[in-house]
Amino acid sequence: MNTRTPIQPATHPAVLSVSFSATGNRFIAALSDGLRCFRTDNCLTTYHPTLPLSSTGDSREGGYAIAEQLDDRYLALTAGGRRPAGKSSVVVWWDALLGREVAKFDFREEIKSLRLSTKHLVVILEHRVIVFLHQTLKSEPRSPSSPGQPEHQFPNKDAIPMRHGAETASKAPNVPKSLHPTGPNPYALASLQGDTLALPAQSTGQVQLITLSSESSKKRVLRAHTSSLRQLSLSSEGALLATASEQGTLIRVFDTHSTDQLFEFRRGVDHAVILSLAFSPCGTWLASTSDKGTLHVFDLRPPEATALAAQIDREARERKQQHRKSQSLSHNPHRLSTGPSSSLSGTGRSSPASITPSAPVTAATGTGYQGSVQEYYGLRPVPASASPSSAGPSVSAIAALKASPWAPKVFKDVRSVASAAFSMGDDPPHWQGGVNSSWTTAPDGKRVRVKHPVPPLPADPSGRPPKGVLCIKNRKGAAGDDEGAVIYVVGGGSDAKWEMFELVPAEGGGWALLLIGFRRYLDRQFVS
């Protein structure tokens, strides 16, 4: 078996997972050799700690497959990757202000993912979820920084808010609150907003909504899809729930209080993997990303009178243009108006021998315009008065099909108001490191090539790099998100990239997605 080290090692570590903080102001990347925290708005590094060494005793730092950030101070970590920093069943609670871990929990089985809020830590396992409450720890002397490490490694003194007693007081999720069984959850689906927790139920396609504020953790169950769930997300207030199935064609939005379905949007007609779902801060927009490399934005606002008027006016202009096109076809000799003599030819038109020049038809005569020989052979255009007047605005075939009660549902579904392509990266199959295959000797003495499988990730058994992780913020200077939004898309893997999009009103009506900029956030960063 070929175990030789590559001559030219990778210059950057691989990003095994990406997640945004509870406020969306930061995002954290779990790396194959540690972790790193960034600002969401400009993708600059805020924290790059020196963590414990690899569990294999390697001189390099160990890898982390899961990382969640509560704020600028507290992190929850789980080891993973080809050179893990510890067990994949252990959650490490890290205090960035003290520069060390303050708590550790071993669950005796692989941890799929974590969720954090100001009150709770949610640990997601294969068939159940455990919820913990934060507890203030006893004050301890402040530990010094490790030798050769700049103290705390924050870019400025305002990176962490310093309050009285913050140097010694710390908190950790030491109080178990509840345990909730789920069905098989290979993709670690869960969403935590405030006191509302959304999890897959034990039945296929169902979601359980748990209220953590009550002592009994009240639970409600809604049926979201007929097939297995692939993605779910709660709004910032926990009032809305968005879900997508493994088919990836429909996205549904539910009211978490009444469990009623409010919206159903169509992403497309072909199968796709929904990578992420995210609501805007005020619940006006819903964004989704898929493995097609497309970012879609859906409008959750109720239709207003002005919007309806603009839509009616736009449809009227389209019908008028369609009517003009239909009139231009009247120059075709096959489209001439026919009279009684047309029945002799059997082709829906008069024969040249029976055509005689005549005046345009009038209401009194009641006879159709017969045309002339020149008009029949296209040598002279048909007079405009010969074209029959339209009794009403023309309707396109697609519009008529949509209005038909027998039309397929796909023609009536609501689609996104704006879409744009985002980067899926250029990751090799074995993006986590190592070789694709190796040579070995078979029992018969022949040399054969053995392909190495891609190592799985805790939240993705296929081992694909994380891509398309979403966060939506209000536009700069805007009081709400009615005027648009700023959308951040972050990807991991060996080609990790941060992208910034802006949803703005389009000139001709509607909305448009503009790519503002991107950055490969593991590269060297220059700050003016």
pLDDT tens for 107-146 read 999 999 999 999 999 999 999 999 999 999 876 544 433 3
| Segments of the chain scoring below 50 in pLDDT | 1-8, 54-59, 141-166, 305-306, 333-367, 390-392, 527-528
Would you state the pLDDT for residue 438? Answer: 86
Joined tokens for residue 74 = 């507290």
Q: Which of 43, 127, 111 is nearest to 77 (CA)?
A: 111
CATH number of 15-141+151-305+455-519: 2.130.10.10
In whole angstroms, what is the distance from residue 19 CA to residue 37 CA? Answer: 10
For the chain, the domains span 15-141+151-305+455-519
Closest by CA position to 198, among listed 157, 241, 158: 241
Give 451-499 pLDDT, tens digit per residue.
888 899 999 999 999 999 999 999 988 888 888 999 999 999 999 999 9
Neighbouring-strand partners of residue 219: 210
Q: Which residues contact 400 (CB under 8 A, 6 or more apart)?
A: none
Task: List the structure tokens of 296.
Answer: 């879609």
| Burial of residue 384, with CB atoms counted within 10 A of its CB: 0-12 exposed, 13-18 middle, 19 or more buried | exposed
Q: What are phi and psi of 179, to 5 degrees?
A: -130, 135
Closest CA to 515 of 492, 486, 495, 494: 486
CA distances (Å), 93 to each of 99, 106, 154, in order? 11, 12, 19
Contact 82, 32 (CB under 8 A): yes
User: Kind and range of the H or E element at 135?
Assistant: strand 128-136
